[in-house]
Chain A
Amino acid sequence: MTALLRRVDPYLKIEAYDPEAELMLLHFGPQHPSTHGVFRMDLYLDGELIVKAVPHCGYLHRAVEKLCEKLAYVQLTPIVDKNDYVAPMTNELALVMAFEALLKQDVPRRARWLRSLFAELQRVASHLLAIGTLAIDLGGALGGGTTVFMHCFRERELILDLFEAVTGSRFHYNTHTIGGNRHDLPEGWAKQAKDAIRVIRERLPEYGALTIENRIFQQRMQKVGVLDGELALELGVTGPNLRASGVDHDLRRDAPYAAYDEVKVNVVTAQTGDCFARAIVRVKEIEESLRLAECFLDGLPEGPINGGKPTKMAVQTKVPVGQTYVGIETPRGELGTWLVADGTHTPYRLKIRPASLHSLSALPYVLPGHTVSDAIAILGSLDPIMGEVDR
């Protein structure tokens, strides 16, 4: 059925469509309250209807890949932390897993469980932020949206506190190293984590009532920004955005890494592919991640947390010649690392495959035919993080 949907032409020639030049060109961004950072869309408007959308990114292009060619392997974890700054834990994980793949380095079981635990908690924090900012987009900075946002942030702080207790930093943790983790859990952390999980689980219905059960929210989101599953796959859209389009694909289950092969991961999907489906998948994933986090917390094995060889200097860690691709499931989708090593202490080429860039590449297909208000909802529901898009 989906194949019957007519695909929007993203390369529409605007002169041919509108020879009298009566369309209004609205530069949406790069500084705009709803672009989630610095992102620009050139919207050609017919009244309030979008005829064509031309996204422009790169306003936060920080040349991370060039920096990675310059620094030693062990110095890179804090650098990639800043890419997807809402989920730094998974950033580090994708990076060190690529190094470990070429080094053929084994990771102790406890470290793998810790990594999965952190990743799940990070997913909760990230989705909370996504829902909060989506609500702000829909409800305005001086309105009901802010209330949802504040509540989401209140819960997000609980998780940041947990991470701060482990690593000493609210984000940019630098806790994953080649062969394991750098920080073990402090005394009493498990109880604190349990409490946080319980509190968040208790409060989840609150967000539900304010967002996905809210009539206005439903009206704004349903049947808006429908992304066809086949197109999403072609574009490389991953994560909750892909699962909302009815594609049952989650790397945690389909290509397990860390400790995900030892637990059962329930993949949340929705069929409609609209903004509402994307929102609902995120809310449901919070519940699932809380369950998984509890599971990892309960079954956390004892043992060493680092199997790597200790080195005195950064330059001593040398990765053998080879090329590899490692992808993991972050809160935003598949975050991958394409690593080209030439046997020295720095990568020859390191490409980070961002999930958000691929999500944004759906915009020219999805936006036409919607209004400016819908554009906000669509952009918010895709949950892009510009640090990851532009790197």
Chain B
Amino acid sequence: MNELIHGGLYGGMIVGVLMTTTAMALWFERKFAARMQSRLGPTMVGPSGLLQPFADVVKLLQKEDIVPFQADRVLFNLAPPLGAIAAISVAAVIPFSADIIAADLDVGVLYLLAIGALGVLPVFIAGWGSNNKFALLGGMRALAQSVSYEVPLVLAALVPVILTGSMKLSAIVEFQATHHWLVVWPFFLGVPAFIIFMLAMLAEANRIPFDIPEAESELVAGITTEYTGIKFALFYMAEYVHTLVASAVGAALFLGGWDGPFAPGLGWMVAKTLALFGFVYWLRWTLLRFRSDQLMALCWRYLVPAGVVLVAASAVWVVWVG
């Protein structure tokens, strides 16, 4: 019973904080992008345009909800909430500090990989259910992309699991706190695994340079082409939550999570997450987009072999050295 209350309380808190952070992340991204482009970004809504994401949400709530005439109604309506749930659920196992964890599962890594993989399903459902050719092409690309990048993602996530000997996220962070961060020692395993993990996570979250499923300049708006109002907002939010959560997971698995001197654990975790998140947006507003076959080539030619080698090397390292 106690666990249930604990989980519910922290779960609710985390969802609330996540939503607010997502809104702020939207604002941050727009200002950040504007700075990169020698613009100002939102200035008129609230101080420095801080309220811009909220205005967006208020507006999106009021928009007419259109279901295209020949769309598959059930699938079309099912996709956005499913996407949002899949993105948020991952947050359940993230250790924000030594004691802020909604559910400290023994198989945390397995859970987050499984739920993360669920994220492609609503994308494909949306692509199929919209009955729009651009959406279909987007869904098709998303499916191919996610299925491919699932493999390096799992391989990269296996490296910290092997090195620390646990699938429990809190235990992985604890291990790093008592020993070294995985990107520090053994860095020749940690750093490549971290890079592969972040790349695969970006691809899963459909961020540039891997955002080909919704490539505006090619597929109009890809899978979200037919979505209006709040349904679109759910998709939009799911994307940001996904990126945010991916950054948090990356910080926990490789950057030592809440571990750090002077400041409280939560502060360190948030700082690391936001730093990764900022890096993702830096990439987004600098890089161009891959073509889908190049994306596949990158995955199967480089990331997967590298992942396999890393896993084998980690096992050898643990047995002979660690």
Contact = CB atoms under 8 A, between A and B. Distances in A.
A220 B291 CA distance: 7
A293 interface: no
A48 B145 CA distance: 14
B291 A371 contact: yes
Nearest to B34: A150
A211 B292 CA distance: 19
B180 interface: no
Given A216-B209, A372-B137, A144 B287 contact: yes
Interface in A222-243: none
Given A150-B39, A219-B294, A372-B137, A141 B217 contact: yes
B211 A143 contact: yes
Interface in B271-287: 284-287
Interface string B201-224: 000000011011001111110000
B285 A146 contact: yes
A383 to B, nearest CB: 15
Interface in A173-215: 210, 214
Contacts of B59: none
B73 interface: no
B133 A138 contact: no
Interface in A334-386: 371-374, 376
B2 interface: no
Contacts of B220: 32-33
Given A147-B286, A154-B38, A140 B217 contact: yes
A24 B217 contact: no
A137 B286 contact: no
Contacts of B291: 219-220, 371, 373-374
Contacts of B218: 34, 372-373, 376
Interface in A33-56: 33-34, 48
B67 interface: no
A33 B134 CA distance: 13
B6 interface: no
A220 to B, nearest CB: 6
Contacts of A137: 217
Interface in B28-51: 33, 36-39
Contacts of A307: none
B288 A24 contact: no
Nearest to A224: B291
Contact of A144 (B38, B134, B215, B288): B288
A217 B291 CA distance: 10
A128 interface: no
A142 interface: yes
Nearest to B134: A26
A138 B287 CA distance: 10
Contact of A150 (B37, B211, B216, B294): B37
Contacts of B289: 138-140, 143-145, 216, 220, 373
B290 interface: yes
Interface size range on B against A: 20 to 34
A255 to B, nearest CB: 37
Given A150-B38, A151-B38, A33 B217 contact: yes
Contacts of A26: 133-134, 137
B217 A144 contact: no
A210 B287 CA distance: 8
A34 B289 CA distance: 14
A136 interface: yes
A48 B144 CA distance: 12
B235 to A, nearest CB: 14
Specify which of A154, A216, A217 lies most central, judged by the most chain B CB atoms within 10 Å of its CB.
Answer: A216
Contacts of A372: 137, 218-219
A374 B292 CA distance: 10
A87 interface: no
A144 B33 CA distance: 9
Nearest to B209: A216
Contacts of B133: 24, 26
Contact of A373 (B33, B208, B215): B215
A96 interface: no
Specify which of B36, B38, B289 lies most central, judged by the most chain A CB atoms within 10 Å of its CB.
Answer: B289
Interface in B149-168: none
Nearest to A216: B288
A117 interface: no
Given A143-B285, A146-B285, A216-B289, A138 B208 contact: no
A37 to B, nearest CB: 14
Nearest to A141: B216
A139 B212 CA distance: 10
A144 B284 contact: yes
B36 A147 contact: yes
A162 interface: no
Contacts of A141: 216-217
B213 to A, nearest CB: 12
Nearest to A377: B291
Contacts of B290: 216, 219-220
Interface in B109-165: 133-134, 137, 140-141
Nearest to A34: B217
A144 B285 contact: yes
Contacts of A138: 217, 288-289
B219 A145 contact: no
B211 A140 contact: yes
Contact of B288 (A135, A151, A374): A135
Contacts of A144: 208-209, 284-289
Given A33-B220, A142-B216, 13 more contacts: A33-B216, A48-B141, A139-B289, A140-B211, A142-B208, A144-B286, A146-B37, A147-B36, A214-B288, A216-B289, A220-B289, A372-B137, A373-B218
15 contacts: A48-B140, A48-B141, A139-B217, A139-B288, A140-B208, A140-B211, A143-B208, A144-B286, A144-B288, A145-B288, A147-B286, A216-B209, A216-B287, A219-B294, A376-B217
Interface of B: 33, 36-39, 133-134, 137, 140-141, 208-209, 211-212, 215-220, 284-294
* Closest 6 pairs between A and B when the two form their complex, measured CB to CB: A150-B37, A139-B288, A143-B208, A144-B287, A34-B217, A373-B291
